[in-house]
Structure 1
């Protein structure tokens, strides 16, 4: 009798306490969201409104002064029929492939070599230093070094007069020079991420593989690299997105020349809008570039989360 009488009383006594705890926890969650709500709303409003305005502008002809004229998809058709735009697409693909191969693999090899070195911090700081320099400054430095009064002049004095020319004025040579400049500037950040990943990796699988007699190459390819896969994915996506939207270094070194032969999509977007005052066509380039980046990023992120 006493047990049956006391059981309901215990449940009734616990109900208000449980409700109070649930309400308190719910209010805490709501309060946390309220702190970030203003920033989220501002970003969402300006981001979404900018996308919608750019999309609307891409279907119009506008010089920035006169009234807009609706032209359907003429801007997109004009782009894909423009040889300069196709050259820009080709240069962008060269940037993407080169950046992915070199910016991902080179710092990985450097991190493997210096992680266990007693001078690891010195080497990391040495490679990270260019990251502190803006792309504009690095572009000015490289343009000065490759001018006819820089490295080409020194090569001429050493008995190679055929090398005395402005290398940034040679089509496709200038593209690869600018790619190497961008990689030189960004390699330090990727190296720091790799070194941090190697130092935080779980050692037990590595020790087990070494006990089993696994060789160095197989150890890294089969054990170590899968353990730092999230870091590799982050570096891959960063390099991918940055290579698609590269602008300032190219603008400083060649301005897309000579004869628009070194333009990328980001530079074409700028020139169409602010140099030639074809804002509709510039907006169309921006939409094409955004769609490509979103598609590539989506498939990479989807595969990453699916495997995890």
Structure 2
């Protein structure tokens, strides 16, 4: 087969994905950017106002409230979700019947977010929720999880950590199974303990997987919306009002499409910045087997 035919087959196979990327990602991104420069209520004519929508966002207390809430949620979710997923993956890596455990841990990932949110509203109910009942039996008075401004973000974070555990765990398991057993055999010959093997073999060789999960988790955490919408509707007192909730609120509640698009572009810039910074820093701590 000639190089030209190989190239043609390559374009043939990547064509559907490329078309989807252009239609459902790049074109909407360009349109959102153009809309962020307009004043539009979704029905009438668009009026060009330049960077006016961005100025409005930076002077909007609701935008800053949403940004602070989203950052707080991210700080809670990322370290705990990654550490728990790694520990569970390590625990299951050598266990018999690990495929069965994978299914159980992965079930929340494929369950509807709305269904999970409704169930957790019952679990976290401050008056008769099962979590507070368990705490009461051990002598602890549980808080009003979803109606207390101090506890609502940690409550949503708990749900996200639980529901996303299986996804990250499966990826970590794949990373662990890609580490050659020869490293551990050599370490055992040298008399290394289990903790030494973990710190000097598992963690370094698992760093590419950890890096990937970290990037994807941060992107996902900054886009949190479903849980807050279903469980609290952004309350109480906007304590669970996130950036994507703010984008939704401006577009479909207040019909300020330009402001919504501007907030979306700011969110895009934040995520892009975090991703680029992580890519830059990854050279210091990500180690590839070779």
Is residue 144–residue 151 contact of structure 2 (8 Å, CA) maintained in 1?
Answer: no
Q: Match for residue 129 of structure 2?
A: 150
- d(CA) in 1 for partners of 2:140 and 2:91? 39
Query: Please, which of 235, 242, 246 is the counterpart of residue 264 of structure 1?
Result: 242
Cα distance in structure 2, aligned partners of 1:240 and 1:213? 38
SS across alignment from 2:96? coil
| Alignment partner, residue 177 of structure 1 | 155
CA offset at residue 119 of structure 1? 5.2
Corresponding residue number in structure 1 for 2:64: 86
5+ residue gaps, structure 2: none
Q: C-alpha displacement at 1:152, in angstroms?
A: 7.4
Q: As a proportion of its length, which structure holds more helix?
A: 1
Shift of 1:156: 10
Return closer, same or farther for 1:75/1:168 CA change in 2, 3 Å cut-off: same
Displacement of 1:59:
1.7
Please, which of 258, 261, 266 is the counterpart of residue 283 of structure 1?
Answer: 261
* Partner of residue 167, structure 1: 145
CA distance in 2, matches of 1:237, 1:65: 37
* Alignment: residue pair count: 285
- Corresponding residue of 1:57: 35
TM-fit CA distance, 1:159: 11
1:5 corresponding residue in structure 2 = none
Q: What CA deviation, in whole Å up to 9, does each residue of 1:93-133 have, x standing for no partner?
A: 11222221011111111222232233544443332221221
Partner of 2:168: 190
Change (3 A) 1:95 1:152: closer
SS across alignment from 1:167: coil
Q: 1:157 to 1:264 in 2, by over 3 A?
A: closer
Residue 7 (structure 2) pairs with residue 29 (structure 1): yes
Root-mean-square deviation over aligned CA pairs: 2.7
Give the TM-score, by structure 1 length: 0.83
Q: CA deviation at 1:268?
A: 0.7
Matches within 5 A, 1:100-249: 100-118=78-96, 120-147=98-125, 148-151=127-130, 154=133, 166-249=144-227
Q: Which runs of 4+ in 1 moved over 4 A?
A: 152-163, 302-308
Distance 2:105 2:50 in 1: 49
- Between Structure 1 and Structure 2, whose CA radius of gyration is higher? 1
Query: What TM-score do you get using the length of structure 2 for normalisation?
Result: 0.87
C-alpha separation in 2, matches of 1:43 and 1:154: 48
Counterparts of 1:212 and 1:159, CA distance in 2: 46
- Measure, in 2, the Cα distance between the counterparts of 1:159 and 1:46: 51
Comparing 182-191 and 79-88, the one that deviates more: 79-88
Deviating more after overlay: 74-83 vs 147-156: 147-156
By how many angstroms is 1:134 displaced? 1.8
Q: 1:38 to 1:185 in 2, by over 3 A?
A: closer
Range with bigger deviation, 51-60 or 115-124? 115-124
Identify if the C-alpha distance between structure 1 residues 123 and 69 changes in structure 2 by more than 3 Å, giving closer, same or farther: same
Question: Which segment is superposed worse, 242-251 or 109-118?
Answer: 109-118
Distance 1:214 1:39 in 2: 47
* 2:287 maps to 1:297: no
In the alignment, is the contact (CA less than 8 A) between 2:149 and 2:237 conserved in 1?
A: no
Paired with 2:16 and 2:99, the residues of 1 have a C-alpha distance of: 40
